[in-house]
Amino acid sequence: MTTLSSLKVLVVEDEALVSMLVEDMLTDLGCAIVGPAAEIEEALRLANSADIDAALLDVNLGGRPIFPVADALKARGVPFAFASGYGEAGLTEDHRGATVLQKPFREADLRRVLEGLVGQTA
């Protein structure tokens, strides 16, 4: 099992309650939270400049698609997962095949996805 202790995870989520739940799960897993960002502009700023190891991206942020943030992270080599109630069907063709965490999810699901992301950079 991969250790997630001190993993710096960018959280991009516009629903406050969901964001708080994700933050609690990440804290329980020993991760450090970056953000959270609830708007595209803030998410882009963090994606381009923050010290992060991985990111969890809500696919639809205030009615706007998250894909520019995903592209910025990809350009930096930062692994990420999309969080979506639509699964892979909610992704554009360019982003098909990316890691998707199906909403709603449990802490065990989040752990599994994060361990997979960490494995991409190991």
**Per-residue pLDDT reduced to its tens digit, 59-114:** 999 899 999 999 999 999 999 999 998 888 888 889 988 999 999 999 999 999 99
Q: Is 30 exposed, middle or buried (0-12, 13-18, 19+ CB in 10 A)?
A: exposed
Examine the pLDDT at 3 and tell me if it is beyond 80: no
pLDDT score of 120: 76
pTM of the model: 0.93
- List the one residue out of 104, 122, 117 whose CA is nearest residue 56: 117
- List the one residue out of 96, 93, 100 whose CA is nearest residue 117: 100
Q: How many residues appear in the chain?
A: 122
- Percentage of the chain beyond pLDDT 90 is 80
Backbone angles phi, psi at 67, to 5 degrees: -60, -35
pLDDT score of 1: 43
Q: Is 99 within 8 Å of 84 (Cβ atoms)?
A: no
Q: Name beta bridge partners: 10.
A: 34, 55
